[in-house]
Amino acid sequence: MRKTFGLLALLLVAPLARAGDALPLPALKIDASRTAVVGLSSGAYMAAQVQLVYPELFPNAAIVAGGPFGCAGGKLDAALGSCMKGVPAPDVGALVASAGRRSASGEIGALKNLAHARVYLLHGKDDALVAPAVAEAGAQFYRQLRDGMPGLKGMQVHDDDQRAFAHNLPVAGSGDDCDKSVAPYLGHCGFDAAGEIFAQMFGKPAHAATTAQGELRTFDQDALRPDGADAFLAVTGYVYLPLDCLAGKPCGVMVAFHGCRQNADAVGKAFVEDAGFNRWADVYDVAVLYPQTRASLAPLNPQACWDWWGYSGADYDSRHGVQLRWVVNAVRALGLPAGH
């Protein structure tokens, strides 16, 4: 009982300690033609949700160790079974058909906006948490969507599934954690996943990345609550701002979703500083938004995952989903034009 109360106290007090430090997002000159979402694990499912629900805003997505959109169907047991272990295997055909129906009804975005989408799926062969069959189902989802829907033949789907790493985001340095899934879930595998993600999303770089030269700032996430509704996020989020963006140059925007137990309360600034995105953001002139979840017992989300099974409500993966609407508020505040 004492441990339970201690955890509750930690969950309630820790975010409040930083509330006074958070500022609004700066308004930049955002180029609406250069947007992307990326995520690891629960963040990968979240990235897919943002892309399918708001394809007019985010046609490009990089999905690391995740599965197909709509996989959980609002059920935690399905999320833990079919959508992580691959038992039973996700029914990709049914998920694609469901996406088509939901798009036609307006529950998610118009899929025609994926006509020139870039989708990059990355999954390690040593991943023991999200089964290879689940990642393959994610790739098949996009292929079937592309091949079965008129107007989507130009969608690019790159399935990168032959690299040896565990359930983590690979980074450029070498170390002994590539084949493990341990905090902060950045595997030193000698593969710069962030660089590959930028290239897949925005094309070949103009030059190699060095060290990050821009500014990493905190911002007030509560100020962006949709209609005041709790989005089950931390008080404070992070945003990386290349110097050119701060100087007024048109910039792209990437939203990077951490995985479970990879939020700042759990791993500090490891993900927002060390994943590798910031130095490539300088090369491409792309601002990187790092929204942060919070752990909770009610609703049950003790590992601070993004909502890809319904803890925030039954409409979590629709245009009514509170976390998805929060993301739209955030990119609008950052300067994404209202006409897009």
Grouping H, G, I as helix, E, B as strand and the rest as coil, residue 301 is: strand
Q: What is the separation of C-alpha 211 from the centre of its chain, rounded to a whole number of angstroms?
A: 23
Which is the catalytic residue, given 123, 160, 167, 177? Answer: 167
Residue 127 a catalytic site member: yes
Tell me if 334 sits within 8 A of 25, measured CB to CB: yes
Q: How many CA atoms lie within 13 A of 300 on its CB side?
A: 3
Give which of 245, 60, 236 is closest to 142, Cα–Cα: 60
CB atoms within 10 A of CB 228: 6
Residue 41 a catalytic site member: yes
Residue linked to tokens 């000159």: 29
Residue 174 a catalytic site member: no
Q: How far apart are CA 302 and CA 30, in angstroms?
A: 35
Give which of 100, 107, 91, 81 is closest to 315, Cα–Cα: 107
Which is the catalytic residue, given 42, 127, 160, 181? Answer: 127
Q: Is 150 left (phi over 0), alpha (psi -120 to 50) or beta?
A: beta
Residues involved in catalysis: 41, 127, 167
